[in-house]
Amino acid sequence: MKKGNIPLVSVIITTRNEESVIEKLLKSIQTQTYSSLEIILVDNHSTDRTCEIARTYVDKLLIQGPERSAQRNLGVRESSGNYVLILDADMELSSNVVKEAVSRVTKDPSIKAIIIPEKSFGQNFWARCKTLERNCYIDNLTAVAGARFYERQLFLKAGGFDENITGPEDWDLSQRVGQIAQIGFIQSLIYHNEGQISLLNQMRKKYYYVVDPQNWTVFLRFLVGSLLLMSQLPGGFELNGRQIPKR
């Protein structure tokens, strides 16, 4: 579908109890320099105010579980856009993300998907470690990052996200799409709000996401980034309330 001569982009957002971050994402979508958008939010049975907050911003609000892959696939099936942009609730878009992605694929029709660089931010030491982790692979995004912007018909042709995996599904879909079409890049950033990261929860998350040896690189980069950042702290660091001095 097009609004006039401008391709429609469907923004697909998945949520579960995201009341603390969802409005910031939705406001960043509102301030995009590209206007032909529809917003579809697929919520996994939130028990907080996520849906209440989102209703005033979205075009469609759907309820679906049990995991992110199934939510995303439903959102794409229910979309009307020529292109789809897949987002998590804890993200915020710089203003030109959609405009630059549409420009990239329309200027080069061989490109059917776009990898968008992400920059983390957060409120504590471990969030800084996550930022350093992402910086470790910013020049080699295809190794660990998945596309977030797709031509809708290609997304459907590729079968969408594998609903049997959670975590590496972004990378998995990009690998499959890359076998039948070209994937491009843009410069505009997505900012990823890491909030207050717990080391134990982060390690559990990384372990949960690991399903093959390729994904161990992500886990190891987080650990290496954490150690590197620790080594730069002049007064050591705090772990579970205990001060660890610099060696």
Amino acid letter for position 10: S
Q: Does the predicted TM-score (pTM) go above 0.75?
A: yes
Partnered with residue 22 across adjacent β-strands are none
Q: How far apart are CA 130 and CA 134, in angstroms?
A: 6
Q: 82 in a domain, yes or no?
A: yes
Please give the residue range of the domain that contains residue 162.
2-121+141-194
Q: 211 in a domain, yes or no?
A: no
Q: Is 26 helix (H, G, I), strand (E, B) or coil?
A: helix
Q: 240 in a domain, yes or no?
A: no
pLDDT digits (tens, 9 = 90+) for 169-193: 888 899 899 999 999 999 999 998 8
Total domains in the fold of the chain: 1
Q: 237 in a domain, yes or no?
A: no
CATH of the domain at 185: 3.90.550.10
- The pLDDT of 217-236, averaged and rounded, is 51
Q: 134 in a domain, yes or no?
A: no
Q: 155 in a domain, yes or no?
A: yes
